[in-house]
Amino acid sequence: MSMIDNYFRNMTELLEKTLASQKESLEKASQKIAESLKNGGMLYTFGTGHGHLLALEIFYRAGGMAKVCPILDERLMLHINAAESSGWERAEGLEDELLKKYPIQAGDVLISISNSGRNTVPVMLAKAAKERGAFVIALTSMQHTSSVTPRNKAGLRLFEAADLVLDNGGILGDAAMQMADGAYVGPTSTAVGASMLQAIACRVKEISLEEGWEAEYFKSSNVDGGDEYNQKLLDKYKALIPGLA
């Protein structure tokens, strides 16, 4: 059996464990997001490094919620200077800059994403958002974050700054497959995190149908009528969501 088989087997088992252990938290997250959207709030998403991929996972997506605002700063991403971004995610005070562009407020929801949960910006942004009255959801690895110390002046890890925690079930270091030479490869946080976020998106739509209100979702631009349908949502939210249109 090759590592291709082993990785898929590991992911299947991990997803099953995550559903079993996190179903209650996924339901609570869905309910809070649905409540926020129903009452005019915004869903913000944020991550640094590869966590940024998850911040974009449910943004402007076919079959995805329309009122999602990813908090984006190129210093914290990988496409310009990946190594330098690791330094920026530990910078104190950067959350204040982000909040000037992305005015999180009471009634909004923030999903802050960090596998280790120890670096400064995801934690301090979560803390600031919570202080503003937003509901804060941490997407993290509890095994990893419980094994490390904080890297911020508040002395907090992400789960300690949030109202609700979603545990991706990953191991310390994220890479889950040990090779013959002892090296570990095959991270799991992105695949599991994406599944959790998409499950929440599905449940939010279901909640809206159960309660009789409209949760706005994009259609695929590559099906007939999709562009016309989506344009109405773009026109409605482009002033509220930087980078949407």
SS (H, E, C) 41-94: CCEEEEECCCHHHHHHHCCCCCCCECCEEECCCHHHCCCCCHHHHHHHCCCCCH
pLDDT at 64: 97
Q: Which pair of structure tokens corresponds to residue 213? A: 């209100």
Mean pLDDT taken over the chain: 96
pLDDT of residue 1: 82
> What CATH number has the domain spanning 32-237?
3.40.50.10490
Listed residue (11, 2, 54, 3) closest to 187, CA to CA: 11
Span 124-133, average pLDDT: 97
Neighbours of 177 (CB within 10 A): 14
Banded model confidence at residue 36, pLDDT cuts 50, 70, 90: very high
- The domains of the chain are located at 32-237
pLDDT > 90? residue 101: yes
